[in-house]
């Protein structure tokens, strides 16, 4: 644990599973008798829970006096949310993070929503079907069986209940007064925390130096990549003089440099996808385009390749929808599967 800024403590948590193996959790200590704030929770790992228990005890923060602001609903940010809730902590999250009952990347539990049928629909839409790609389909079904039988999956998000957060909502702790800021792009409902007076922004996974955050959706109409570009432009022009503190990597002062690199990377990938469709001369599914664009096998060889396929299909879908909005590609649908082709044909 290090004191990143006066009254703001940074804790690094690690995991031996998944693509992202480290995350920074932040604690803002409240004044005597007041509540304290934690930003995100980290992985659902016993070693992470034990470390956080020790730090909370050292700082004199009890769970029943703790508020947890969840930037977005990914496993590395909400893995321990259900545990903290069970011990009396209050959780806050934008309810738009529950916009879809099934996410191709992560397994989200939410009571009252049928993620099973949604999973079948989402997989079919990207070209993963029991009849067309049985081996890949079975990989997804095995993960589903593991989740349903409580055998665990590193990208699973256990169910929890949270209080709703909206843009502009204020959170005051210690000497800081934060305003909730929408950061759509990495996910549909990601939120950050901004202290305008101190020019400080906790930015979740929206912008990371040295990494291109995934813009992950497989749902028609989310227009997530376009929203991401707008958000990065806002970060550059409205919060360019702020210190941005991401959940991964180092704090960012040169916001423009990092944001422009991310935008260029996505535009470059979108251009590559456009050229793939231009030269293929045929209709392709999201899975087919993703495997071609990222040089992947049609059937993943191991778990790591399977996880990568889940990610690149989501990124490819976002790029394809962006190209569709710009009239570079055409989308058709047959038996629940989307097919994409060049608008030049």
Reported as a single tens digit per residue, the pLDDT across 292-306 is 999 998 899 988 899
Q: What is the bridge-based pairing of β-strands 337-342 and 90-93? A: unpaired
The predicted model gives 2-15 an average pLDDT of 93
The predicted model gives 78-104 an average pLDDT of 92
Distance in angstroms (rounded) separating the CA atoms of residues 18 and 106? 11
Architecture of domain 2-98+158-257: 4-Layer Sandwich (3.60)
The predicted model gives 111-118 an average pLDDT of 61
The predicted model gives 97-120 an average pLDDT of 71
Q: In which band, very low, low, confident or very high, does the pLDDT at 109 lie, cut at 50, 70 and 90?
A: low
Residue 112: per-residue pLDDT: 47
Residue 296: per-residue pLDDT: 93
Q: Would the CATH topology of 2-98+158-257 be identical to that of 269-342?
A: no
pLDDT over 80 (residue 96): yes
Q: What is the mean pLDDT of the chain?
A: 92
**Top-confidence residue, 276 or 118:** 276
- Contacts of residue 52, defined as CB under 8 A and 6 or more positions apart, other chains included, come to 11, 13, 25, 41, 42, 80
The predicted model gives 273-280 an average pLDDT of 97
Q: In which band, very low, low, confident or very high, does the pLDDT at 213 lie, cut at 50, 70 and 90?
A: very high
pLDDT over 70 (residue 18): no
**Top-confidence residue, 164 or 75:** 164
What is the share, in percent, of the chain residues with pLDDT greater than 70? 95
Using an 8 Å Cβ cutoff, are 218 and 126 in contact?
yes
Q: What is the bridge-based pairing of β-strands 243-246 and 200-204? A: parallel
Residue 102: per-residue pLDDT: 79
pLDDT over 70 (residue 283): yes
Q: In which band, very low, low, confident or very high, does the pLDDT at 145 lie, cut at 50, 70 and 90?
A: confident
- Single pTM value for the model: 0.93
pLDDT over 90 (residue 328): yes
Buried b (16+ CB within 10 A) or exposed e, 70-95: bbbbbbbbbbbbbbbbeeebbbbbbe
Lowest average pLDDT, out of 208-217, 258-267, 269-278, 327-336, goes to 208-217
Looking at CATH, the fold of the domain delimited by 269-342 is given as Arc Repressor Mutant, subunit A (1.10.10)
**Top-confidence residue, 10 or 14:** 10
pLDDT over 90 (residue 106): no
Using an 8 Å Cβ cutoff, are 174 and 104 in contact?
no
Phi, psi of 231 (to 5 degrees): -65, -40
Q: Where are the domains of the chain?
A: 2-98+158-257, 107-156, 269-342
Distance in angstroms (rounded) separating the CA atoms of residues 14 and 23? 7
């Amino acid at each position: 644990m290090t004191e990143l800024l006066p009254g703001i403590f940074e804790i690094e948590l690690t995991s031996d599973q998944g693509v992202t193996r480290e995350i920074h959790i932040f604690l803002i200590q409240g004044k005597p008798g007041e509540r304290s704030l934690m930003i995100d929770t980290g992985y659902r790992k016993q070693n992470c829970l034990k470390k956080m228990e020790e730090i909370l005890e050292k700082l004199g923060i009890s769970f029943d006096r703790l508020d947890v602001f969840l930037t977005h609903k990914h496993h590395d940010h909400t893995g321990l949310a259900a545990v903290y809730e069970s011990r009396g902590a209050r959780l806050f999250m934008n309810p738009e993070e529950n916009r879809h009952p099934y996410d191709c990347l992560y397994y989200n539990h939410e009571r009252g929503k049928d993620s099973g049928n949604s999973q079948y629909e989402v997989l079919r839409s990207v070209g993963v079907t029991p009849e067309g790609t049985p081996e890949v389909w079975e990989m997804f079904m095995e993960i589903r069986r593991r989740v349903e039988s409580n055998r665990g999956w590193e990208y699973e998000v256990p169910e929890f209940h949270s209080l709703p957060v909206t843009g502009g909502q204020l959170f005051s702790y210690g000497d800081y007064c934060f305003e909730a800021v929408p950061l759509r792009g990495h996910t549909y409902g990601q939120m950050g925390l901004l202290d305008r007076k101190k020019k400080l922004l906790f930015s979740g996974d929206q912008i990371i130096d040295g990494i291109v955050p995934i813009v992950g959706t497989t749902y028609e109409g989310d227009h997530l990549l376009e929203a991401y570009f707008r958000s990065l432009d806002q970060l550059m022009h409205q919060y360019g003089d702020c210190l941005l503190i991401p959940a991964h990597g180092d704090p960012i002062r040169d916001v423009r440099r990092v944001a422009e690199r991310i935008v260029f990377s996505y535009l470059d990938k979108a251009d590559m996808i456009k050229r793939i469709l231009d030269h293929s001369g045929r209709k392709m599914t999201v899975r087919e385009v993703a495997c071609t664009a990222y040089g992947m096998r049609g059937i993943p060889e191991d778990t790591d390749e399977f996880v990568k396929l889940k990610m690149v299909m989501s990124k490819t879908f976002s790029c394809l929808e962006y190209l569709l909005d710009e009239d570079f590609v055409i989308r058709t649908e047959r038996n629940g599967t989307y097919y994409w082709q060049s608008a030049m044909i």
